[in-house]
Structure 1
Amino acid sequence: MPGIGLGTWMSTRRADLQIAITAALEFGYRHFDTAFIYQNEKIIGDTLKDWFCCKRVKREDIFLTTKLPIAGLHEDRVESSIRQSLENLKMDYVDLYLIHFPVGSSVANSRTPLNQLKLEMSDHNAVWKIMEQQVEESRTKAIGLCNFTKKKIEKILNNCKIKPACLQIESHVFLQQKELVDFCQQNNIIVIGFSPLGNPGYNKFLKSIGKDGIQLPNGFENDIIKGIAEKCKKTPGQVMLRYLIQRNIVPIPKSTNPKRIKENIEVFDFELDSDDLKKLEGLDLGEEGRILDFNFFSKQMRESPEFPFPKKRKESI
């Protein structure tokens, strides 16, 4: 897996995403992260296919991740879900297939509001066995988890034939999840960090589904991060990404801006010293730093015993 990737959540405009992926490929990205629920697999597949046809890159040069949707979190729907994603992506296989969320919903169409999804209890071990079959049948090279807690990962580890290769979680200087990261690394599970720069677009997303925005931590304006950036002759964003890389976390920053995409990959030519690391470690806010807590799901789903996050913010749905 390349040490940095391009995240694509909330990137659904074809022209913008095609420009972003093209720019990323030109700047050296080979790791792309999507999901069925992002509704952009077809755009990503079309764009990559154009590059393959022009022989500018080979399929084996690309590391492509997609995810089992929450409505697919049932042993009877895993295979049909990955087949649909492969059809969307125009690929014979993906490099990594992740369970997107530990709470499943009954089958819904793409127009079903998130706050109206109906809970369907899932057997994670039964689902994992079918995930393992997808590796055995060459639809994916590796399988892993998203948004799972240590306890939930342990249940999989205690019953699996193929261990989870990766855990994808929200990870940035304000939400460091040290215990969970240490646990994964001790068990040879690679940690992938989404929203590594915070998530400036999240309030726009909340507004689009009728929810109030929230106060988001802003690393670009943080004095400690800005001071380290000035010392290193880098940007605050590059400092935040470098911090994760030096913790052996693979960041997948999302951007559709070619200038920012280029900036985000220029993080392998400098190193944070021990003093920098200590200062950045001190910025951890724990759960108060979490941006994406899935509070936009229905009350029924949020009250599931499998829901992974503590309630933190006032409900507005």
Structure 2
Amino acid sequence: MPFTFKSNAERIGPLKEPDGSLVKAATDHVQIWRKLEELVKLNKLKSIGVSNFNADQLKRLYELAEIKPAVNQIELHAACQQDEMQVLCKELGIYITGYSPLGSPGVNTHFQNKYGFTKDIPNLISHPIVEDLTKKYNRTPAQILLRFLVQMDVTVIPKSSNPTRIKENFQIFDFLLLPEDVEQLKSIDQGESGRILDFLFFKGVENHTEYPFTVPKSSG
């Protein structure tokens, strides 16, 4: 993770200011990476990577790393396709793992219960383009959205506690989306405004020097 906070010694969790803001900690990516490299050399780790790094952070670390990052795990779905990051990672030989590939339809419940925080999120499962393609291919919306990303050479990590849906999520390797349908799904992209997990539920996170995202105008 590109940003860190000081921990609360009295209980598990971050230390907070009186106004509820998290107490930021200095974050030296290269210093942290050197420790991870040491663990690889000691055969404690097989491979190492990063998560939620933006392009500048990733390029800076890559240039100074002895052992190059194997992966950048990022939010990636039809509404937040991160084309520039995909191109950069391919150029550097870094795999992308896409989390929230279905758009995290239940995330607002989690936000509200844990942080008292809600935000507008894209509804990909019920998007008209996705619904049309489910009928065309006789597949579930999740299968269409996952197949779309897999065809872009993205490793996807969907989350579900439903055994039937977990099984369905694996059944995406016996069909291909036609080029014109891939283009339709690409048109759903909302760029940065389609990002769901911007971590603004951590009060004050956007003020961290290594906060990796662009803050929406309505948020700061």
Shorter-chain TM-score: which interval? over 0.9
Is 2:141 the partner of 1:236?
yes
Q: 2: distance between equivalents of 1:201 and 1:220?
A: 11
CA drift of 1:103 comes to 0.7
Deviations 1:203-262 (A, max 9, x none): 112112342422221111111111112111111110100011000000000111101101
2:82 aligned with 1:177: yes
Is 1:110 aligned with 2:12? yes
Structure-2 separation of matches of 1:313 and 1:170: 20
1:311 aligned onto 2:215: yes
For residue 273 of structure 1, what is the aligned residue in structure 2? 178
Contact 2:7 2:13 (8 Å CA) reproduced = no
The aligned counterpart of 1:131 is: 36
Per-residue CA deviation, residues 108-162 of structure 1 (Å, 9 max, x unaligned), is: 3424478543101111111111111111112211000100011001111111110
Aligned pair count?
215
Matching of residues 82-93 of structure 1 within 5 Å: none
- In structure 1, how many angstroms separate the alpha carbons of the residues matched to 2:113 and 2:130? 31
Tell me, in whole angstroms, the C-alpha distance in 2 between the residues paired with 1:197 and 1:313.
25
> Is the Cα contact below 8 Å between 2:102 and 2:158 reproduced in 1?
yes
Cα deviation code 1:56-114 (max 9, x no counterpart)? xxxxxxxxxxxxxxxxxxxxxxxxxxxxxxxxxxxxxxxxxxxxx20111233424478
Q: CA–CA distance in 2 between the matches of 1:128 and 1:112?
A: 22
Matched to 2:206, the amino acid is: R
CA RMSD of aligned residues (A): 1.7
2:196 partner amino acid: I
Structure 2 letter corresponding to 1:288: S
Tell me if structure 1 keeps the 8 A contact 2:5–2:24: yes
Q: Secondary structure at the match of 1:220?
A: coil
Deviation, structure 1 residue 290:
0.6
SS of the aligned residue for 1:309 comes to: coil
3-state DSSP of counterpart to 2:50: strand
**1:232 aligned partner, one-letter code:** Y
Q: Structure 1's 203 and 245: CA in aligned 2 closer, same or farther, altered over 3 A?
A: same
Which runs of no fewer than 5 residues in structure 2 stay unpaired?
Answer: none
Classify the secondary structure of the residue corresponding to 1:203: helix
Q: Is the 8 A contact 1:146 1:168 kept in 2?
A: yes
C-alpha distance 244-139 of structure 1, shift in aligned 2 (>3 A): same
Alignment of 1:36-115 (within 5 A): 101-108=1-8, 109-112=11-14, 115=20
Unaligned runs of 5+ in 1: 1-100
Residue in structure 2 matched with residue 67 of structure 1 by the alignment: none
Find runs of 4+ consecutive structure 1 residues off by over 3 angstroms.
111-116, 313-316
Quick one: higher RCO (CA 8 Å, sep 6+), 1 or 2?
2
Aligned to 1:35: none
- CA separation in 2, counterparts of 1:156 and 1:282? 32
The partner residue of 2:104 within 178, 199, 222 is 199
- The AA in structure 2 aligned to 1:125 is V
Is contact 2:6–2:14 with CA below 8 Å preserved after alignment? no
SS in 1 for 2:46: coil
Asked if 2 retains the 8 angstrom alpha-carbon contact of 1:118 and 1:298, the reply is no
- Percent of paired sites with the same residue: 35
Q: Name the residue aligned to 1:7.
A: none
1:156-215, CA deviations, whole angstroms, 9 ceiling, x for partnerless residues? Answer: 111111000000000000000000111001111000000000112211121123424222
Tell me how far apart the structure 2 counterparts of residues 142 and 103 of structure 1 sit (CA, whole Å): 21
Does residue 188 of structure 2 align to residue 283 of structure 1? yes
